[in-house]
Amino acid sequence: MVDGRLIITGHKGFVGKSLVKMAKSRGFDVLFVEGDLLKSDTVSKLRESISASDVLVHLAGGFFGSDPKIVEKNTLVSLTVAKLASENPRLKIIYTSTGAVYGNSGSDPIAESTALNPNTVYGMSKKWGEEIFDYYIPHNQRRLTIFRLPSIYGPGNEIGVIARFIKSIQENDSLSLHGTGTQCRSFLHVEDLCEAILCNANSSLVGIFNLSESIPYSISEIIKILEEQSSFNLINLPLENTLDSMILDSSCYRSLTGWVTNRSVKEYIEKQFG
C-alpha cells in the first residue's frame, strides 16, 4: 500500500511525530485530525478522514493522570475510534497497545498467547481498548493488527524511564531509583517501532504481536550503563509501580515479516552523553 492514505491519531505525541515524519518520507499520504477525539465536531472530522483512508494507526492515549483520565484517554477514545473504523470495511487498523496487559511477566519473555492479567489501571485500560477493537472489527474481515509494546525510547521522548534518567542526570547530577533495581523491562526505539508499523501498513498480515528489542534490561543494568557515561548521586526510594517486570517475546512478528531492530538502549544512552 505504498503511496496509500494513512490516518494517524495521536500525531502530536512522541511516537506520532516520528511516525508522521517517516511515513511521509516513504510516500504515504498522511492525514490527522486536530482536537479532542471525544468532542462531536472532532469526531465528525475524524469520520470523514477515516472514510477516505486506507490504513488507520491509532496511537492516541495516555499513561499519566488520574485513573478516570487514563481510562478516558485509552478506553473511551478507542471506543470512538473503533466505531468509526467499523464504518469503512476496506480500512486496515493498527492499534498500539502495551505489554502491561500481561501484568508481571516474571524473568522469562512472554509470548502473545500468555493470559492477560493487567495489574495497573494503564494496562487494564489498554486491554479494554483491545477488546473494543476486537468487538467492532469482525475476525472474518481480517483487517486488525494489535501491537503490544514495551517501554519506548528515542529522540523527543521526555516521560519514559530512559528519558527521565538521562534528564535527571544532566540537570540535577542525580537519579532516583524506586525499589531495588531488579525490575526488568523490554525496550524499543521509536524508529524501530515506526518501521514495524509501516511494514504492517504495507502488508496483509494481521493479528496480535509483541514488539521489542531482543535484549531486556533491569533498571540496575540501565543505571550501570549510565554510570559508564557520567557520575551522579543515586537516591533510593520506595517502589511506586506495581508492574515489576515486563519482558516481551517478539519472535513471532520477526519470523513472519523479517522485521529487525536496528538501534539499542546502550548505543542510544552513549549518544546522549557523547
Report yes or no: 247 and 186 within 8 Å, Cβ to Cβ: yes
pLDDT at residue number 125: 98
In angstroms, the Cα distances linking 102 to 36, 233, 246 are 29, 34, 8
Query: Tens digit of pLDDT for each residue in 51-105?
Result: 999 999 999 999 889 999 999 999 999 999 999 999 999 999 999 999 999 998 7
Residues near 233 by Cβ (< 8 Å), separated by ≥ 6? 173, 174, 175
Q: Residue 192: phi, psi to the nearest 5? A: -65, -35
pTM of the model: 0.94
Q: What is the CATH number of the domain that holds 196?
A: 3.40.50.720
Which of 34, 8, 14 shows the shortest CA–CA distance to 92?
8
Query: Tens digit of pLDDT for each residue in 144-200?
Result: 999 999 999 999 998 888 999 999 999 999 998 888 888 899 999 999 999 999 999
pLDDT at residue 207 above 90?
A: yes
Burial degree of 174 (CB within 10 A; 0-12, 13-18, 19+)? exposed
Task: Tell whether 253 is covered by a domain.
Answer: yes
Task: Tell whether 269 is covered by a domain.
Answer: no
pLDDT at residue number 111: 97
Task: Tell whether 237 is covered by a domain.
Answer: no
Q: Residue 195: phi, psi to the nearest 5? A: -65, -40
| Mean confidence (pLDDT) of the chain | 93
Say what angle helices 265-272 and 219-227 make with each other, to 10 degrees: 40
Instruction: Count up the domains in the chain and report the number.
Output: 1
The amino acid sitting at 236 is: N
Say what angle helices 265-272 and 161-172 make with each other, to 10 degrees: 20
Spatial distance between the Cα atoms of 200 and 194, rounded to a whole number of angstroms: 10
Task: Tell whether 169 is covered by a domain.
Answer: no
- SS3 string of 198-238? HHHHCCCCCEEEECCCCCCEEHHHHHHHHHCCCCCEEEEEC
Measured CA angle at 81 (ends 190, 24), to 5 deg: 40
Task: Tell whether 73 is covered by a domain.
Answer: yes
Query: Tens digit of pLDDT for each residue in 231-249?
Result: 999 998 887 666 678 899 9
Dihedral-angle region of residue 23 (phi above 0 means left; psi in -120 to 50 means alpha; beta otherwise): alpha
Query: Tens digit of pLDDT for each residue in 90-145?
Result: 999 999 999 999 998 777 899 999 999 999 999 999 999 999 999 999 877 889 99
Residues near 89 by Cβ (< 8 Å), separated by ≥ 6? 141
Task: Tell whether 274 is covered by a domain.
Answer: no
Task: Tell whether 65 is covered by a domain.
Answer: yes
Residue-range definition of the domain harbouring residue 107: 5-153+189-212+249-261
Task: Tell whether 42 is covered by a domain.
Answer: yes
